[in-house]
Amino acid sequence: MLKRQFPLNHVVGFLLSIVLTILAALVAMQTDFASNIKMWIIGTLAVFQALVQLIMFMHITEGKSGQINIINIVYSVFLAVVIVAGSIWILTTGHAAH
């Protein structure tokens, strides 16, 4: 039999994720900040949420497969940069800029 214990990490992570998401929605919809400030706040919340998920759900701090974890993180960061920076580049240059 496996040892059963209350999945505290998961519950806390789940609640934190919900709170951070609602916070982002509130900042976007209910506040009067300038839109670039909103972007910065939402972006910061997103980074926090990513950390919550990595630590609480993906067990990044546990286990021995350090090398695989590093490859994973590097590749994920690379993809995030490609997707976000690429999209901004594509959608804001060209005819959209004129």
Q: Which residues here bind other proteins, judged by CB under 8 A? A: 1-2, 4, 68, 75, 79, 82-83, 86-87, 89-91, 93-97
Distances (CA, A) of 91 to 56, 57, 60, 87: 34, 33, 34, 6
- Nearest distance in Å: CB 79, other proteins: 6
Short-list 26, 18, 89, CA closest to 53: 18
- Nearest distance in Å: CB 70, other proteins: 15
d(CA 24, CA 50) in angstroms, rounded, equals 14
Question: CB neighbours (10 Å) of residue 6?
Answer: 7
DSSP 8-state secondary structure symbol assigned to residue 61 = T
